[in-house]
Chains A and B, each alone.
Chain A
Amino acid sequence: KAGVTQTPRYLIKTRGQQVTLSCSPISGHRSVSWYQQTPGQGLQFLFEYFSETQRNKGNFPGRFSGRQFSNSRSEMNVSTLELGDSALYLCASMTQGGGLNTEAFFGQGTRLTVV
Chain B
Amino acid sequence: AQSVSQHNHHVILSEAASLELGCNYSYGGTVNLFWYVQYPGQHLQLLLKYFSGDPLVKGIKGFEAEFIKSKFSFNLRKPSVQWSDTAEYFCAVNPLGGSARQLTFGSGTQLTVLP
* Chain B residues touching A, range: 20 to 34
Q: Which chain A residue has the least Cβ–Cβ distance from B36?
A: A106
Is there an interface contact between B99 and A98, defined as CB atoms closer than 8 Å? yes
Q: A109 at interface (Cβ–Cβ under 8 A)?
A: yes
Q: Which chain B residue has the least Cβ–Cβ distance from A32?
A: B101
B interface: dominant SS = loop
Is there an interface contact between A106 and B44, defined as CB atoms closer than 8 Å? yes
Query: B92 — which chain A residues lie within 8 A by C-beta?
Result: 43
Q: B97 at interface (Cβ–Cβ under 8 A)?
A: yes
Is there an interface contact between A94 and B101, defined as CB atoms closer than 8 Å? yes
Q: Could you say which of B34, B52, B94 contacts A99, with CB atoms under 8 Å apart?
A: B94
Is there an interface contact between B104 and A99, defined as CB atoms closer than 8 Å? no
Query: B27 — which chain A residues lie within 8 A by C-beta?
Result: none
Highest count of chain A CB atoms <10 Å: which of B42, B44, B101, B104: B101
Please count the residue pairs between chain A and chain B whose beta carbons lie under 8 angstroms apart in the complex.
Answer: 70
Is there an interface contact between B46 and A103, defined as CB atoms closer than 8 Å? yes
Is there an interface contact between A42 and B106, defined as CB atoms closer than 8 Å? yes
Is there an interface contact between B101 and A104, defined as CB atoms closer than 8 Å? yes
Q: B43 at interface (Cβ–Cβ under 8 A)?
A: yes
Query: A31 — which chain B residues lie within 8 A by C-beta?
Result: 101
Known: A99-B96, A101-B32. A33 touches B42 (CB 8 A): no
Interface set of A (CB-CB < 8 Å, partner B): 4, 31, 33, 35, 42-45, 48, 50, 55-56, 58, 90, 92, 94, 97-109
* The 9 residue pairs across chains A and B that have the minimum distance between CB atoms: A43-B105, A106-B44, A108-B43, A101-B51, A42-B107, A99-B96, A106-B43, A45-B102, A56-B100
Q: What 5 new A-B contacts, CB under 8 Å, besides A56-B100, A100-B32, A102-B101?
A: A33-B103, A94-B101, A99-B96, A105-B46, A107-B43
